[in-house]
Structure 1
Amino acid sequence: MSALSAKYRYRIQTALTVLACAGLTACGSFKGMTSGLGDSKINPVNWITPYRIEVVQGNFVSKEQVEALTPGMPRAQVRDVLGTPLMASVFHADRWDYVFTLKRQGAEPQALRLTVFFKGDALDRFEGDEMPSESDFVARLDSRRKLGKVPVLELTPEQLEASDKKKPASNVAPVATPPAAPSASSYPPLESPAR
């Protein structure tokens, strides 16, 4: 039994020695391979990037929405046009801030800001970044590969006739069955009886 355990012990020691040597060799070759390469595309570390989720925060306000604002509009109407503000401070009751940020992998972060000022209940003025139109913004978001032309999702009259011919004809009219009556059930009381 002792010879068998010594045999296994020797195999484990050999395996650990080989793994340690391979690890040290890999560290040395990795350091030598990546030193001096920096941001080079040759560097294998640059081939693999971690996945970063898209972070969308705030209210997107389009150019069309800003154009719909006119001085003198009541607060409720401004809220209907722009939506609920991201920031409405107690200390700045006559100011609403609409902030929108978008962070995506492989693209520059986008940040848009619009500030709306009120006098009493009426819109006084608004200022902020130049907002993109909805179509421009959607085009800016769509950075994925294009799949080509979208096919028409309608059948031509010839295709409709061909599909009708493929259906088996049924000579028997369907028999309508009346819905089953609900069975009488007794349910336990919702509240326990008073004591």
Structure 2
Amino acid sequence: MSASPSRASRLVLALAACAAVGACGTVNNATHRLADSITPYKVEVVQGNFVSKEQVEALKPGMSRQQVRDILGTPLVSSVFHQDRWDYVFTIKRQGVAPQARKLAVFFKGSELERFEGDEMPSEAEFVATLDNKRKDAKVPVLEASEERLKQFSSGRPAAAAAQPESAEPPPATSYPPLEAPAR
């Protein structure tokens, strides 16, 4: 009679082992499905100088290096071996969007702009529209200041602040306590 309980316990152990092995496969499948559904956060990587179509159109042969720098900004690459060439490179990598890369090379003859060549550049409005991939129906903000808006800020205050009456109180004092305790 003692042999029967040991056989029963072995059978129970064998069935439990089979159930555990079967459960491992189910858990493994569920784990893989869960891992596939989770996408990790990927940092947006922006490198270089964004050069717009408007900036490229402002370039004219014969401009000085300083004028080119004022329009395009400081070049990303200026080589000691190629002092008459500036390279403007722009790359952006974002999650869920194809990576973008644009290049513009500016060539000088002496201290004057000779020519420039590179990729077709988007306008500022087109570039801003590509950045907002979450809101497809979003309105592109105005990228230029009109004469009206400039006049509002020419006095140093926006029109809304200028419309408010001035208070009778004098402005707060601008003296601050000393950073260190006085010497004794």
Instruction: Give the TM-score range, shorter chain.
Output: 0.5 to 0.7
Deviation at 1:47, TM superposition (A): 1.5
1:1-53 C-alpha deviation (Å, 9 max, x unpaired): xxxxxxxxxxxxxxxxxxxx97x766533555689xxxxxxx44331100001
Q: Which residue of 2 aligns with 1:156?
A: none
Q: Which residue of 2 aligns with 1:91?
A: 81
1:109-133 C-alpha deviation (Å, 9 max, x unpaired): 1001000000000000000000000
- Counterpart CA distance in 2 for 1:119 and 1:148 is 44
User: Would the alpha carbon gap of residues 103 and 25 (structure 1) be closer, same or farther in structure 2, given more than 3 Å must change?
Assistant: farther
Q: Which residue of 2 aligns with 1:29?
A: 26
3-state SS, counterpart of residue 65 of structure 1 = helix
User: Would the alpha carbon gap of residues 175 and 66 (structure 1) be closer, same or farther in structure 2, given more than 3 Å must change?
Assistant: closer
Q: Which residue of 1 aligns with 2:64?
A: 74
Q: Which residue of 2 aligns with 1:62?
A: 52
Number of paired residues?
135
Q: Which residue of 2 aligns with 1:17?
A: none
Q: Which residue of 2 aligns with 1:141?
A: 131
TM value normalised by structure 2: 0.61
- Counterpart CA distance in 2 for 1:27 and 1:127 is 60
- Residue 89 of structure 2 aligns to which amino acid in structure 1? V
TM value normalised by structure 1: 0.58
- Counterpart CA distance in 2 for 1:88 and 1:112 is 17
- Residue 84 of structure 1 aligns to which amino acid in structure 2? T
- Counterpart CA distance in 2 for 1:148 and 1:75 is 38
Q: Which residue of 2 aligns with 1:188?
A: 183
- Any gaps of 5 or more consecutive residues in structure 2? 1-18, 140-166
- Counterpart CA distance in 1 for 2:40 and 2:137 is 25
User: Would the alpha carbon gap of residues 101 and 30 (structure 1) be closer, same or farther in structure 2, given more than 3 Å must change?
Assistant: farther
- Counterpart CA distance in 2 for 1:26 and 1:78 is 68
- Residue 25 of structure 2 aligns to which amino acid in structure 1? G
Q: Which residue of 1 aligns with 2:5?
A: none
Deviation at 1:95, TM superposition (A): 0.3
Aligned residues: percent identity?
63
Q: Which residue of 1 aligns with 2:113?
A: 123
- Counterpart CA distance in 2 for 1:44 and 1:125 is 55
User: Would the alpha carbon gap of residues 48 and 131 (structure 1) be closer, same or farther in structure 2, given more than 3 Å must change?
Assistant: same
Q: Which residue of 2 aligns with 1:11?
A: none
Q: Which residue of 2 aligns with 1:50?
A: 40
